[in-house]
Amino acid sequence: MIEDIQADELYQLKTNNNHVLVDVRSPKEYQEATIPGSVNIPIFSDQERAVVGTIYKQKGPEAAKEKGLEIFSKKLPDFIREFKKIDMQATVFCWRGGMRSKTATTVLGLMGIEVQRLSGGIRAYREWTVERLNQFEMKPELFVLNGYTGSGKTILLDRLKAKGYPVIDLEKLAGHRGSIFGHIGRNPVNQRSFDFALLEKLLEVQQERFVFIEGESKRIGKVVIPDWFDQKKENSKQIFVHLPVEERVRNILDDYQPWLNPEQFKEAFHIIKKRLPTNISKELGEYLDAHDFTKTVELLLTYYYDSLYDYSTNYPESQKTAFTASNVEEAEEQLVKWVSDRYGSKVK
C-alpha cells in the first residue's frame, strides 16, 4: 500500500537529518526546479520522457503507459540499485504525484524498499510554498546592507554568516547579482526554485532576533521577492557601507572576473550604452575591446552605477546608519561592534 504524505508534512520531514527526498522526474525537469535538498533518481531520461510524451499526444494515455513500462522495465535493476544505496527514510515525488511516483513506490515496495510518496507532487509543494510565502509574518528585525556597487555587501554577508550571524543572501538564492551584468558567471534560477529556497531560509531564521540581508530591488534577475518582504525591507534599518573607489573596483573584478566571459560583458554593456554620454560609451567600448576591465569598471561606476544608486536609496535619516572603512575587513569589524552595542552583548 502506497503511503502518501502532504506538503506540510514533507517540510517537517525535511528538517530531519535521517530523511531524503527523491525526485524521479527526468534530469532536465530536476535541473529546472526541484524541492531543495532532493536527489535525482529518474525513471526516464530526457529523451525517453520525450518519446513517451509524443506517444501520449499521438496515440493516447494507454499506449504511452505501455511504452513507459517497456522502457522502465529494462532500467529496473539499476533503479532498484540506486535506492538500495539510500540508508534512510525516503519520500519520492514527480510532477503531480501521478504515474511516475506511483510506479516507483509500487516497484520499490515489491522489492522490500518502503518509501513514501508526496501527494500532488512538486506542484502541490509549490502551491503550499506560495501560500506560506504570501501569508508569512517575519518576526526578526531586518538589517539591510547598502552601499555603492562594489562595496563588498555580499562579501560581508558571507563573513557575517561564517561568524554565526543570521543571513539571507537573496542574490545567492536567485543565482543573480541583480544588475545588468549580474547573470555573468552565475546560474539564474526560476521563480519556483527561488520561492522554495526563500521559504526555507525564512523558516530557518524565524526565531532569530535579527537577520542581515543586502539591499535589493524587488526584481533580482528572473525572480521577484514577495510584496510583504520588499515592504519590510524598505521599512527596516538601512546600513550604508562606504569604501574607497579603488577598493570597490577590486571587489568587482574579484567577484565578476570579466576576463573569463568578455563577450558576455560586451553583450550586457550594449544594453545600457544608450543611457551613457556618447563619448563615455565610446571610451567604454574601447576599453572592453582591449580587455582593460579596471578602466571599464571605473567608468561604469562613475557614469552609471553610482548615480543610479543615489537615486534608489533615499531613506529618512532615522532609518540610516553609515560606516566608512578602507576595506571589507574593517567594515566587518565595525558591523560586528555595532550589532554587539545594539544588543548589549556579543551576539553568537
CB 239 within 8 A of CB 335: yes
Residues 6+ apart with CB under 8 A from 298: 245, 249
Helices 293-300/245-256 angle, 10° precision: 120
Contacts of 82 (CB under 8 A, 6+ apart): 41
CA torsion sign, 50 to 84 to 69 to 37? Answer: negative
Distance, CA of 3 to CA of 120 (rounded, Å): 13
Measured CA to CA, the distance from residue 33 to residue 192 in angstroms comes to: 7
Catalytic (active site) residue 40: no
d(CA 348, CA 325): 24
Residue among 94, 144, 213, 220 flagged as catalytic: 94
DSSP code of residue 167: B
Q: Which residues are catalytic?
A: 94
